[in-house]
Amino acid sequence: MKLSRRIGRFRLDRLLLVALIVLGLLIAGRGWLAEHPEHDPWAPLNLNDPPGWATQRKLAALRSDPAECRAVLERSEVAFRALPPEGKGACRREDRTVLVDAPLAPTPPAATCAVGAALELWLRDVQAAAELNLQSRVARIEHFGTYSCRRLYGRDSGPWSEHATGNAIDIAAFVLDDGRRISVVGDWSGSGAEAVFLHQVRDRACSVFGTVLSPDYNSAHVDHLHFDQEARGFGVVCR
């Protein structure tokens, strides 16, 4: 009887010790997440925080909540302009948001806010990659637009393109402060610093957009990088 009581007490003490260890880890983890909100899936997204484990999931969630997305831009002190809805049917654009200070040429286009939020983060990576590989900053980024009321690849039937609702943008070239122009069609397949730069900015886009397509995907993308925020659940398409 005494032995069984001792065994039972030992088991209870061990369970209490395990519970205390788990509680300590939870408290420590909560404190760590408070200091690193970029890893906390419950912390409000701020684009000024460094990218973290939770950043991409938070960006993806903005696609279905334009009001929250615009709150993120305000919280992050990103200048933007919200435009009224436009269009009809499958090409109705309820969410039209312009990043007014983005270095996009010929002009910053209207896209979904979720695309704009991802672009804001990606643009910072673009500058870092340009300085690293090309020893110059990017002055402007040439694009083919965000909106086109069409189905995928211009077909008469099948799924609608993300461009039909402005939930995508096509990037064609980068013009540097020193005047150099780095184009997808002209420099992607090269062996120099320009090609390295283009591949790096494609790879970095994969951490903030739901879909990233490049010349490596197919011939339809030989002259641009396609970015969109299609809802994909877990994971991204990065090619």
What's the token pair of residue 173?
């070239």
Angle at 53 between CA 50 and CA 59, to 5 degrees: 75
Q: What are the sequence ranges of the domains in the chain?
A: 1-35, 44-238
User: What local confidence, expressed as pLDDT, does residue 121 receive?
Assistant: 96
Beta bridge partners of 105: 142
Q: From 141, 140, 133, select the one nearest 197 (Cα to Cα).
A: 133
Query: If you ran DSSP here, which 8-state letter would residue 179 be given?
Result: S
Section 57-70 average pLDDT: 94
Q: Report CA 5 to chain centroid distance, whole Å.
A: 59
Residue 33 predicted with pLDDT over 50: no
Section 215-226 average pLDDT: 97
Please report which confidence band the pLDDT of residue 209 belongs to, taking 50, 70 and 90 as the band edges.
very high
Q: Where are the alpha helices (DSSP H) in the chain?
A: 2-35, 55-61, 66-75, 113-134, 184-187, 193-205
Look at 10-19, 128-137, 162-171, 210-219 and tell me which has the smallest mean pLDDT.
10-19
pLDDT tens, position by position, 138-187? 999 999 999 999 999 989 999 999 999 999 999 999 999 999 999 999 99
pLDDT tens, position by position, 193-203? 999 999 999 99
User: What local confidence, expressed as pLDDT, does residue 157 receive?
Assistant: 94
pLDDT tens, position by position, 127-141? 999 999 999 999 999
User: What local confidence, expressed as pLDDT, does residue 238 receive?
Assistant: 95
Residue 35 predicted with pLDDT over 60: no
Burial 79-117 (b: 16+ CB within 10 A, else e): ebeeeeeeeeeebebebbbbbeebbbeeebbbbbbbbbb
Please report which confidence band the pLDDT of residue 235 belongs to, taking 50, 70 and 90 as the band edges.
confident
User: What local confidence, expressed as pLDDT, does residue 29 receive?
Assistant: 47
- Per the listing, tokens 């086109």 go with 148
Residue 18 predicted with pLDDT over 90: no
User: What local confidence, expressed as pLDDT, does residue 10 receive?
Assistant: 57
